[in-house]
A and B are shown apart, each in its own frame.
Chain A
Amino acid sequence: MTLFVPGPHLLDSPRGRDWPAYPAFGASHPPGQPPGQPPGAADVVIVGAGPAGLAVASALWHLGVHDIVLLDRASGPCGRFLERIDMLDQRVLRSPYQHHPGVEGYRDCELLDFARLHWVRLIAAERHEIRMAQAGHRSVVPVDVFEAYCRHIATTHQVYDRTWRATVRGLSCGPDAVTVRTDRFELRAAFAVLCLGEERAPAPAGWWPGEAVPPGVSYWDDPVPAGTGSVVVVGAGLTAAHLLTNAIKAGQRVHWVLREAQERYQCSDVNAAFFRAEGRACFDGVPWADRLAVMRRERRASVMFEFRPLLRAAEADGRLTVHRGRAVCGVTPLAGGRAAVRLAGGGEVAGDRVLLALGTTLSTGAGLLPDHLVGDRDGWPDLDERTLCYRHAPRVFAVGAAAGMVLGPAARNIDGHRVATARVAGSIAARLESDSILGAVPADRPVAHV
């Protein structure tokens, strides 16, 4: 067995490089969002323009489905995704190059080749990671490269021209169309694809009285006040690791509260088998109870190996105190805007700030679709396993974490997006071909071979 323990230097890719403007677009690239409102009707509405939405739009483009509207609450394709990454000062993605093979089945430039084409802009460590990827090894992807690649893909498939900023309030499903209601407008589509991603998990009820977050307590994506001298980080995943690392580098005194007896380091956030067919086979036609069991076992928080040297060194020299095997039962505000974490079994850990990184909850479509159409089962939507449409709303599809009980735990990752996208886009294109209800689909819909 070969043990590969990557060093912390891999986490330090530069951000904000001066990527060149494409000659076809000049200095105005990337373009802003189109003005005004989208057309009142489209073949497909994609709710969420993150990496999953971008993948769906690109795949549909290749299938000749160009009458698309993307709706996103943030600015531009992948805008919110990158905003949150930058909030953590995260410089590399956990999904390695191998999981970014681009639009399934088409000749678009893949992320790895995109990076190679920008060789001159990469530092030596980033170039080395590319060589690792070429050799079939796990290799980390710079966020900066990923963002530039997303711009290229969005430009190539004309996604900027089709993305509008809007907060979607709900979907109404009819027999021949879906009506999407937003805070600004309504539009009607033959199909809708929900690429909703995940939201931060809230603290359990009872950690503090009332709903408002008490003073001295923040979620990971809230700003931390300047001058914070000590922090208590609650959580065991990659987000917690970034909070810890940032605090240590800022010279803060850091406490890390872990429910598990030991922190867990892993290359991917799920076992590598789930990024391959044999992993997905654990879910394909398997009894529901068995899938649930696999999910419970596999969806555990973990930290990339790259963090281990720094965290261990900080613990050894006293900059970091790790409270292992200590469940949290509440948070208490203290005088002076400070706060303390109450530990089950007694004891407290106090700091200037308590930072909560408690994982994520998947967006099932609840709140947008009526409950009976979501068909919630153990927290998962009821999806058709072949097409990923909602079984009770066959004109609405889900891509991303919501497809987890069909595709396995990797559904939330880039690789899962690609697999889901292939199914959803193919299904929509085929149904549009045979769908004469809207009368907007030419019989000779061209399919692009680029």
Chain B
Amino acid sequence: MSSPDAEAAVPGAPAAGHAAAGARASHSATSEPWDAHAARGADTGHAAPGARASHSSTSEPWDAHAARGADTGHAAAGARASHSSTSEPRDAHAARGLGGSGAGGGGRGVDTLFSLPAVDDPPMTETGVILMGLDAERLLTGLGLATVTDDPALIALSVDQLRHGGVQRLPAGAMLAEGTSRWLSAREVLQAVGGGGTTSGSPRQAWANALRLVCAADIGDAGPATRAYLAACWLRRGEVDARAARGPAEGATGCPT
């Protein structure tokens, strides 16, 4: 099973922020739904460029499929190589250089095998790698909604519902304002604790690091949802800061109904 350490050991892995940006570039070109796709691309640390290469070489109808392929560990090309050789002995596999040269495969002493992320990882990790791919406005709205409920996964879906309108009790704009306020309050504390720490190329490891940072910070009585959304905001702090600076009134915070 893949562990954060194993993911981090892959040479050439770009920083998570770069991976996410690549995935979003793919999104803008293909009208990918939901920003969670960005997280999928980023889920591996290797992301979209490889995925697009896979797309063009396999006539897949949508980049979405390629991006999903990339979700497994080392981009789609590596994933396919693995598919075709999963029953081969480890040595034979390595000797043929299968497993994705883009990930540094084939080199002496480099383990080019990979496995899918574990199925018994904490549920928060699975949620986290999705949250860290959401756009800044969704994250801030979710941080606001974390004052209402303490389940980060449920919040992610509720933000979707709020942004579609029709929920009079919890208007998206108000939740965005609340979340922006909470982010601005926590931002300096997180900065003081986290400083300019390095970012892991593994999204799962990056998530674990960010969550640890939030837990170590003195941000008052924060439940799991608040901590999760602060961790995701911290990982995407450049965009989140920019969105917070614009204020909740600017831009679309929901949809016409």
Residues of A within 8 A of B (CB): 2, 20, 22-25, 61, 64, 66, 98, 101-110, 112-114, 116-120, 124, 127-128, 130-137, 152, 155-158, 161, 276-278, 446, 448-450
Contact = CB atoms under 8 A, between A and B. Distances in A.
A110 B119 contact: no
A116 B130 contact: yes
A156 B117 contact: no
Contacts of B167: 24-25
A217 B169 CA distance: 53
Interface string B161-183: 11111110110000000000000
Interface residues of B, number: 57
Contacts of B185: none
B127 interface: yes
Interface string B210-253: 00000000000000000000000000000000000000000010
B200 interface: no
Given A20-B154, A117-B157, A448-B256, A102 B126 contact: no
B57 interface: no
B59 to A, nearest CB: 7
A155 B154 CA distance: 13
Given A110-B33, A120-B123, A2 B86 contact: yes
B208 interface: no
A127 B1 CA distance: 13
7 contacts: A24-B158, A24-B167, A101-B33, A117-B154, A136-B76, A136-B79, A277-B61
Given A136-B68, A156-B164, A118 B33 contact: no
Nearest to B149: A23
Given A134-B40, A276-B61, A448-B255, A157 B33 contact: no
A353 B36 CA distance: 50
Contact of A134 (B62, B72, B127): B72
Contacts of B156: 109, 117
Contact of A108 (B33, B153, B256): B33
A22 B117 CA distance: 28
Give the 9 A-B CB pairs with smallest separation, nearest first: A446-B256, A120-B123, A127-B119, A117-B153, A448-B255, A23-B149, A131-B116, A119-B126, A134-B71
A25 B36 CA distance: 24
Nearest to A155: B161
Interface string B27-43: 00001111110001001
A109 B164 contact: no
B198 interface: no
A107 B256 CA distance: 15
A422 to B, nearest CB: 11
Contact of A109 (B31, B86, B157, B162): B157
B108 interface: no
A158 B166 contact: yes
Contacts of B120: 124, 127
A113 B35 CA distance: 10
Contacts of B19: none
A131 B119 contact: yes
A132 B79 CA distance: 11
A22 B161 contact: yes
B123 A119 contact: yes
Contact of A135 (B36, B116, B127, B256): B116
B51 to A, nearest CB: 11
Contacts of B163: 450
Contacts of B164: 61, 156-158, 448, 450
A103 to B, nearest CB: 7
Given A108-B33, A113-B36, A22 B157 contact: yes
A181 to B, nearest CB: 29
A156 B158 CA distance: 8
Interface in B131-162: 145, 148-149, 151, 153-158, 160-162
A369 B98 CA distance: 58
Nearest to B138: A107
A55 to B, nearest CB: 13
Contact of B68 (A109, A118, A128, A134): A134
A119 B127 contact: yes
Nearest to B76: A136
Contacts of A152: 157, 160-161
Nearest to B152: A117
A128 B255 contact: no
A113 B84 contact: no
